[in-house]
Structure 1
Amino acid sequence: MTTDAQPATLTLDDGQTVSALLQSPPAPRACYVLAHGAGAGMAHAFMAEAADGLVQRGIATLRYQFPYMERGSKRTDPPAIAQAAVRAAVAHAAGRFPSLPLFAGGKSFGGRMTSQAQSLAPLPGVAGLVFLGFPLHPAGAPSNERARHLFDVRVPMLFVQGTRDKLAEFDRIEKLVAELGPTATLLRIAEADHSFHVLVRSGRSDAEVMAEVLDGAAAWMLR
């Protein structure tokens, strides 16, 4: 299989279809089902860079659209529809890579919808969840309401979080991960915001931060 993104179509239980992009190195060691955030779809620069970088680290990826993004709407899907898309994507990835360890999650909203789906009924074959910036609360409104379902998740979870993330105050996400216990791991990305951007005065570049994010996520999945 070429390392370029290959188009695919996913069919949800209600018959809706959404687009997807599959990338794989020649000899993948795992597959990550990567859901997009609320404001940008699977072709966003962050998603493409993450998929390309993970392929370079031996991990196949399946990116996909939620139905609202496929329609061009700005209003996110109700949780049940979003979770149905997660399940369709996981099933597709499992069918394409039946012998590989399978992980799921994604950026912000996509990661939260994946964890909600997993908390309600295990995603078949998924060995762990990887969150690239879990949106613990709205900006400026710290809360743990969005975290309650995580205590019903029975697979290992990796939280990749920037210390300047306004959607997850870092001391709050640290406390949450500690409360979740040994199934949860926190990867601290110094000076990064919710999009993993850093200020110039940090002395780091966005490229260096992205490498740290992908190195950490890949190492955790291949551990």
Structure 2
Amino acid sequence: MSSSAQDIRFQAGEHGAVSGLVQAPADPLACYVFAHGAGAGMRHAFMAAVAQGLAERGIATLRYQFPSMEAGRKRPDPPAVAHATVRAAVDQAARRFGALPLYAGGKSFGGRMTSQAQALQPLPGVAGLVFVGFPLHPAGTPSTGRATHLTDVRVPMLFVQGTRDELAEIGHIRSVVSTLGRLATLLEIAEADHAFHVLRRSGRTDEDVLQQLLDGMAAWLQPQTKPA
């Protein structure tokens, strides 16, 4: 059983205070620090559904705003500001959840900023990263250049990717995951786009997709909590 989300505020380094939401079951197994994408904040329906679904599966979440979203600006923060915010959010999660296994990542832009921060300097206490729609390239121009920094990430990574994602052509994301070797796992969501929507003719529904995504994330997170 999950609880409702609790509003928090914290300092994003020298970039001012930002809002956050903490949601957790009574006895969580782990905590996932969940950053939003470039175009929608932490209260977006998809973000809320993922947080709720993970809580029902035993995983706490800490969602948070990047400073640009907090201020209502349309342009995303530059990487240095986003990285500082990721680090501040991870610190908040560590303070609130103590010895629980800690994971970080996010939807699209939020996941990429988290991976960049981790590649530059490991996020304290973070045992792995989860990307919900990693934005591998701009729409219409498939490439793997945005994945170069991932070779400097030394913790396990889960890529949750729709097979129709226009920002991560499935063949290219498979190549990236293969190159990363044992540290990377790919969860393919058949027929889903970057927003994890499916076409009616696919025979699937958005709810089918959400449940597969949640079950896959929870199954990956929970084994990671067990001693080696």
Q: For this structure pair, what is the TM-score category when the shorter chain's length is used for normalisation?
A: over 0.9
Q: TM-score, normalised by structure 1?
A: 0.98
- What is the aligned length? 223
Q: List 4+ stretches of structure 1 deviating above 3 A.
A: none
Tell me the amino acid that sits aligned with residue 158 of structure 1: L
User: C-alpha separation between the residues in 1 aligned to 2:119 and 2:43?
Assistant: 27
Equivalents in 1 of 2:202, 2:50: separation in Å?
A: 22
TM-fit CA distance, 1:99? 1.4
Match of 1:170 in 2: 170
Question: In percent, how many aligned pairs have the same letter?
Answer: 67
CA offset digits 1:39-78 (Å, max 9, x no partner): 0000000000000000000000000000000000000001
Q: Distance in 2 between matches of 1:11 and 1:197?
A: 34
The 2-side partners of 1:194 and 1:114 are apart by: 18
Distance in 2 separating the partners of 1:213 and 1:71: 30
Task: With the length of structure 2 as denominator, give the TM-score of the two structures.
Answer: 0.96
1:98 shift after superposition: 1.1
Note if 1:46 corresponds to 2:63. Answer: no
1:113-192 correspondence to structure 2 within 5 Å = 113-192=113-192
1-structure distance, mates of 2:195, 2:94: 28
Corresponding residue for residue 85 of structure 1: 85
- Structure 2 vs 1, CA of residues 108 and 15 (structure 1 numbering), >3 Å: closer, same or farther? closer
Query: Match of 1:162, as an amino acid?
Result: G
Return the letter of the residue paired with 1:118. Answer: Q
Counting only pairs closer than 5 Å after superposition, residues 17-28 of structure 1 correspond to structure 2 as: 17-28=17-28
Distance (whole Å) between structure 2 residues aligned to residue 12 and residue 204 of structure 1: 40
Structure-1 separation of matches of 2:44 and 2:13:
26
1:172-194 CA-to-partner distances (Å, cap 9, x unmatched) read 00011000110000001000000
Q: CA RMSD in A?
A: 1.0
Which amino acid in 2 is paired with 1:81?
Answer: V
> Which residue of structure 2 aligns with residue 60 of structure 1?
60
Matched, 1:199 2:199: yes
CA distance in 1 between partners of 2:105 and 2:15 (Å): 23
Tell me the alpha carbon deviations over residues 101-154 of structure 1, each in whole angstroms, 9 at most, x when there is no partner. 100001000000000000000000000000000000000011111101000000
Q: Which runs of 5+ in 1 are unaligned?
A: none
For 2:196 and 2:85, the matched residues in 1 are separated by 25
CA drift of 1:2 comes to: 6.8
Deviation at 1:15, TM superposition (A): 5.2
- In structure 2, the gaps of 5 or more residues are 224-228
2:35–2:64 Cα contact (<8 Å) kept: yes
> Aligned residue for 2:36?
36
